[in-house]
Amino acid sequence: MDPDMRLDTKVVHGPRHEHDPHTGSHRIPIYQTSSFVFKSADHGARIFRGEEEGYVYTRLGNPTIDYLEDKVAFLEGAEAGAATASGMAAVSAVVFTLCNAGDKVIVSDPVYGGTFAFFELAKKKFNIEPVYLPAIKFPELLEDHIDDRTKLIYIETPANPTLDIVDIEKTAEIARKHGIPVAVDNTFATPITQRPIELGADIVLHSMTKYLSGHGDTIGGIVVGKKDFIHTLKHDVVSHIGSNYCPFNAYFILRGIKTLAVRVRKHSENAMKVAQFLHDHPMVEKVLYPGLSDHPLHEVAKKQMNGMYSGVLSFIVKGGKEAGKKLIETVKIPALAVSLGDTDSYIEHPASMTHSSYSDEELEKAGIHQGLIRLSVGLEDPDDLIEDLDRALNSLKI
């Protein structure tokens, strides 16, 4: 396909027309097999030695998975991709590829609770030290914390669940001076909204469970970056740990990506409308959404997020933790669930759910208020969501 074609066309067609070259099937089929048959012993030997392209075993490679990896890499402007069993498998694969015992990772704070828990486990089990810097001041503080042990800079922007923004371009400039790779979790933004590699990042990760799937029916992760790095990650880490993806799930993600551009635009449009409503509601103390002009890093988000600000927002209700719990149990449209990026709206309480691995002290340090509610705005009519939230918020006035 023409690399200069517009993004919506890239989303639909990917790096090449999505049909099976062997059968002419208009969609890449699910190659649901564990093993692949060789033409001869010598043929198998050549494939094992890397002298000839081919497939051996789905843990090591599969045509359905390959197409998905190529497509996401293409959308992110990367050279290659590696699909993994989950978003957390993608995070751990990056860390284990780049870091050894005694090394250090500088991490924007906050991050997804599972990512935080993994870094704490890596510290305890493998002596890989995470150093957490506040997301909103990350570039300003970064250089003072870089030393010879620093092997990776890991940022999540927008941050989960505070929607803090990290300036990717400034972070990448500093990292480049020291020869340290920058990995960006782009799950909240997607390549439709934010393109970290074009801003100087080296590695991009996704929980494909979220917007890339878009339908809440499968999980998966992916890492994209330079070809040599991805080759090392796939062959030295993912294949040995066994955190590879499966072809059946790859098919679901490929199907979801077909509508990614239109979905992300609608999610963002709906979220902006809901955020503006919550911003003016008397029962809401604060709304955290980078699309609002009073967000502390709105100008950075405006610069790097392509005029869309994700379908996820957070807000703090008056009355603290108990009021927040009552709210999420009172709304009728959003599902009380911990994922995001689905066609349906999801609502959750991070302090007791997605970020329960944080201590109270760590929650406070990361800016995660006990009364903070995270809302993943779906594709429902935003006016219905607003009316539902209004009823629930007004019920808190007791």
Strands 312-317 and 372-376: antiparallel
Residue 44 vs residues 49, 113, 134, 209, 280: alpha-carbon distances, Å: 9, 44, 51, 35, 66
What does pTM read for this prediction?
A: 0.94
CB 92 within 8 A of CB 154: no
What residues pair up with 156 in beta bridges, in sequence order?
185
Alpha-carbon dihedral sign for residues 48, 72, 300, 209: negative
Confidence check: pLDDT of 369 > 90 = no
Q: What is the DSSP letter of 23?
A: T
Q: Give residue 322's pLDDT band: very low, low, confident or very high (50, 70, 90).
A: confident
Work out the number of other CB atoms within 10 angstroms of the CB of residue 141: 12
Q: Where are the alpha helices (DSSP H) in 51-167?
A: 63-76, 87-98, 113-126, 138-142
Confidence check: pLDDT of 114 > 90 = yes
**Alpha carbon distance 81, 91 (integer Å):** 13
- Max distance between CA atoms of the chain, in angstroms, equals 78
Structure tokens at 129: 């030290």
Question: What pLDDT shows up at residue 276?
Answer: 98
Q: Give residue 364's pLDDT band: very low, low, confident or very high (50, 70, 90).
A: confident
CB 393 within 8 A of CB 283: yes
Q: Does domain 261-394 have CATH number 3.90.1150.10?
A: yes
Work out the mean pLDDT of the chain and round it to a whole number. 94
What residues pair up with 184 in beta bridges, in sequence order?
155, 204
Question: What pLDDT shows up at residue 2?
Answer: 67
Q: What is the DSSP letter of 236?
A: I
Question: What pLDDT shows up at residue 64?
Answer: 96
**Alpha carbon distance 123, 395 (integer Å):** 44
pLDDT tens for residues 144-162? 999 999 999 999 999 999 9
Confidence check: pLDDT of 1 > 70 = no
CB 247 within 8 A of CB 62: yes
Question: What pLDDT shows up at residue 28?
Answer: 87
CATH class of segment(s) 7-257: alpha beta
Across the range 14-29, mean pLDDT stands at: 80
Q: Where is 264: in which H helix or E strand?
A: helix 260-279
Closest to 295 (Cα-Cα) out of 112, 160, 165, 138: 165
Q: Give residue 4's pLDDT band: very low, low, confident or very high (50, 70, 90).
A: confident
Structure tokens at 260: 């990614």
Buried b (16+ CB within 10 A) or exposed e, 317-335: bbbeeebbbebbeebebbb
Across the range 70-94, mean pLDDT stands at: 98
Q: What is the DSSP letter of 159?
A: P
Kindly report, as residue ranges, where domains of CATH 3.90.1150.10 are found in the chain.
261-394
Confidence check: pLDDT of 177 > 60 = yes
CB 370 within 8 A of CB 363: yes
CB 221 within 8 A of CB 205: yes
Q: Where is 389: in which H helix or E strand?
A: helix 382-394
pLDDT tens for residues 372-398? 899 999 999 999 999 999 999 999 875
Across the range 226-253, mean pLDDT stands at: 96
Kindly report, as residue ranges, where domains of CATH 3.40.640.10 are found in the chain.
7-257
Least reliable range by pLDDT among 10-24, 113-127, 150-164, 197-211: 10-24
